[in-house]
Amino acid sequence: MNLSGDTGSVKKSQVAGGLLSLVLTVALVITPSAAVAAERDPAWPKNIGWKGCPAPVWSPALATAEPGKGARVLVIGDSHMRNAGSAVKAQLKNSGWTPTVRCWGGKRLDWGRDQIARAKKLNQLPDNVVIALGTNDMRWIDRRVTRSRMAALVDQIGPKRNIYWVDTYAQNADRFTKAKQKWFNDEVRKLARKHPNVHVVPFGSGAKASGVRFVDGLHFRAVDYRSMAKLIAEELGKVAAATTPPAPVAEVPALS
């Protein structure tokens, strides 16, 4: 009880309490909760250099357009995806997909398997997975090991997820030969015939006819990477259309 009649300290306390409540309320409104904040893989290298890709982001903002309708897509690739990543993310978002990209230059299929394992650990392995790996396996190629890694990657992702495999393209520079390209792309198609959930994105097999050109012995022009992004989105759209039942047609009563 305040027997002195001095109400100043009481009023100051009330004002301070009101300000604190206001600050806390504003903070709760402005600061996103952990549940809705974008999640970046904390294990991703911070110094990515010229080979690396930006840290993969698991976005809380889902796309809304069709045919994706917000469905998540995990994209795993090498330097081709590093160069195509921005176009791929933009194309997928515009088509209604919510992409997360894991890529790194010079990587092979064994690294891809590590990324699948990491995504599973983070509970970030969605129903749609794009694989843009194989070029560096093609350069180093040991057919027995490569074939085994391809099959293991498909098995690791599992039969309940759609896998979209971007096939390779080469021009006989260094050890990236046309013969190796053909062998690898044939193996991708064998997997697609064996596994109904594996779908081929025919970038490499149609690259020459599409006018894809190299800027060095391995990489393509920006316009060609945009074409790759478009093909990926188109293939996802085809599968989505094939698996989504058509809307029921309203019956029109017959005229009497």
55: in domain? yes
Share above pLDDT 70 across residues of the chain, in percent, rounded to a whole number = 81
Number of domains making up the chain: 1
The phi, psi pair for 204, rounded to 5°, reads -65, -40
pLDDT confidence tier of residue 247, bands split at 50, 70 and 90: low
For position 210, what pLDDT does the model report?
Answer: 93
Using one digit for the tens of pLDDT, what is the confidence trace for 164-217? 999 999 988 888 899 999 999 999 999 999 999 999 999 999 999 999 999 998
Question: Is 12 a residue whose pLDDT tops 60?
Answer: no
The predicted-structure confidence for 61-97, as pLDDT tens digits, reads as follows 999 999 999 999 999 999 999 999 999 999 999 999 9
| Percent of the chain residues topping a pLDDT of 90 | 75
Residue 23 belongs to some domain of the structure: no
* Backbone phi and psi for residue 200, each to the nearest 5 degrees, phi listed first: -90, 130
The predicted model gives 31-53 an average pLDDT of 79
- Say which CATH number the domain at 239 has: 3.40.50.1110
Give the mean pLDDT of the chain.
86
Residue 114 lies in a domain: yes
Q: Where are the alpha helices (DSSP H) in the chain?
A: 8-30, 79-94, 109-121, 135-140, 143-157, 178-194, 207-210, 222-243
pTM: 0.82
Which run of H or E residues covers position 165?
Answer: strand 162-166
Asked if the structure places residue 252 within a domain, the reply is: no
Domain that holds residue 126: 48-243
Q: Cα–Cα distance between 177 and 156 in angstroms, integer?
A: 29
| pLDDT, position 139 | 85
Q: 140-154: string of b/e by CB count within 10 Å (b at 16+)? A: ebeeeebbebbeebb
Q: Is residue 126 part of a domain?
A: yes
Count of CB atoms situated within 10 Å of the CB of 157: 24
Within a domain: 125: yes
Reply yes or no on whether the pLDDT at 254 is more than 90.
no
Residue 162 pairs with which residues in a beta bridge?
128
Q: Which tokens hold the place of 169?
A: 């393209």
Residue 38 in domain: no
Q: What pLDDT, on a 0 to 100 scale, did the predictor assign at position 25?
A: 42
Q: Check residue 175 and give its pLDDT.
A: 85
Q: Is residue 19 a part of any domain in this protein?
A: no
- Quickly tell me which residue has 């301070």 as its tokens: 16
Q: Write the pLDDT tens digit of every residue in 215-231.
A: 998 999 999 999 999 99
- Cα separation, 51 vs 102, in Å, equals 13
